[in-house]
Structure 1
């Protein structure tokens, strides 16, 4: 099911990139990664980035959610403000000079740390891979001249996320995610890495709950869930 969306689709990523991410659902590439933790039926792998002293992560496994609904939840920025308690501001933006479209996102960090904000581009496409419907979401930080940095907030300019989901043939979804985020500032790297260990599993649980509540939210908004979306890419 796809919802009549409250999303921002930039269409800036090539089809080949969506296909590459979709293939990770059944054939994940963990070259250079080490196993980290396992929770909620998914395994976490990580790779150290020498340049930042931080890790990037890959997540793979089966989750109790509908892959199409999950794709909707990922990109529905209005709904994100309902279920993510750390969202302070989140809305579409547009660069007046280039007409580039994206999102502005301000995140609440616990005291005494400064809050963070992002400007980024994101897109979702449904890939039909070997006959299987696979929603794929790609997001990356991107500067927007119309939304310069604010001295009261630390701008995160090194962020990327890719995720893909596919039915497991039962009631759940095979899921893959690749994620990296450098929050900068004076936060010790050990604390950031520790937060990733516990924060990402917590996010997955919150995301799973948000997916289960999404059909009711869409109905309350007077919108429609569209079953069996037509794929944008066939591979």
Structure 2
């Protein structure tokens, strides 16, 4: 059986304002451009003006620390702007319309989040804390070893995406930012009673050895190509 894993990764971002990094982490349409591991991602519904539930499926990286395999996760996400600083946190929940799939390993986010701290008009730092149970049959030592370089690599890719975001956003509904302006949200309302906490020990382990290898492993889709 898999065991919960924890990681902490911090990065300084020059030439990236804190608000831009915050936008990139929220903008699901842009994520489909820069996240080369994503298979499918969408928002399911909103709970409050600063919390929603979403689905994310990827090859290789559910959060930036889980290597190999094909994974998905459903999370309840909350966010809070605090002047020049921002917090985004999530944890796994169950939704009756999105049970675990047979062709993917359902990972569990026990507690994952980002702290963005503005350090200047055009600079910030980001700290990613993640505690997840990747499930599946990968040996723990493989996941631990891989997470040491996968998390920083994912953060660097995100940094490159931030540099290109302002130009991209100008061509893709530049004024649509429901994470800043809740009245713009197009998501259906969810009741908290529809959800339940997803505990890691309540999921069956699935052998992902026959599932496709990750794009990270195949070396496909460069960062530059994915943002065009």
TM bin (shorter chain) = 0.5 to 0.7
2:8 is matched with which residue?
Answer: 58
TM-score normalised by the chain length of structure 2: 0.66
Q: Are the structure 2 counterparts of residues 185 and 86 from structure 1 closer, same or farther at C-alpha, using a change threshold of 3 Å?
A: same
What CA distance in whole angstroms lies between the structure 2 residues aligned with 1:158 and 1:124?
Answer: 16
Q: Given that residues 42 and 54 in structure 2 are in contact (C-alpha distance below 8 angstroms), is that contact kept between their aligned partners in structure 1?
A: yes
Q: Given that residues 159 and 180 in structure 1 are in contact (C-alpha distance below 8 angstroms), is that contact kept between their aligned partners in structure 2?
A: yes
What CA distance in whole angstroms lies between the structure 2 residues aligned with 1:180 and 1:141?
Answer: 11
Q: SS where residue 185 of structure 1 aligns?
A: coil
1:152 is matched with which residue?
Answer: 103
Q: SS where residue 190 of structure 1 aligns?
A: helix
What CA distance in whole angstroms lies between the structure 1 residues aligned with 2:119 and 2:69?
Answer: 41
Cα offsets for 1:136-161 (capped at 9, x unmatched): 11111111111111111111123432
CA RMSD, 1 decimal: 2.6
Within the alignment, does 1:167 sit opposite 2:118 as a pair? Answer: yes
CA drift of 1:52 comes to 5.2
What CA distance in whole angstroms lies between the structure 1 residues aligned with 2:159 and 2:109?
Answer: 26
Q: Given that residues 52 and 78 in structure 2 are in contact (C-alpha distance below 8 angstroms), is that contact kept between their aligned partners in structure 1?
A: no
Instruction: Find runs of 4+ consecutive structure 1 residues off by over 3 angstroms.
Output: 51-55
What CA distance in whole angstroms lies between the structure 2 residues aligned with 1:225 and 1:214?
Answer: 14
Task: Give the paired residue count.
Answer: 168
Q: Are the structure 2 counterparts of residues 162 and 109 from structure 1 closer, same or farther at C-alpha, using a change threshold of 3 Å?
A: closer
Within the alignment, does 1:75 sit opposite 2:26 as a pair? Answer: yes
Q: Given that residues 107 and 135 in structure 2 are in contact (C-alpha distance below 8 angstroms), is that contact kept between their aligned partners in structure 1?
A: yes
Q: SS where residue 94 of structure 2 aligns?
A: coil
List aligned pairs for 1:1-235, cutoff 5 A. Answer: 53-64=3-14, 65-94=16-45, 101-109=52-60, 114-128=69-83, 133-169=84-120, 171-224=122-175
TM-score normalised by the chain length of structure 1: 0.64
Higher relative contact order by CA 8 Å / sep ≥ 6: 1 or 2? 2
CA drift of 1:59 comes to 2.7
Structure 2 spans left out of the alignment, 5+ residues: 62-67, 182-228
What CA distance in whole angstroms lies between the structure 2 residues aligned with 1:224 and 1:183?
Answer: 36
Cα offsets for 1:49-106 (capped at 9, x unmatched): xx954531223353222211101111111111110010000011149xxxx9411111
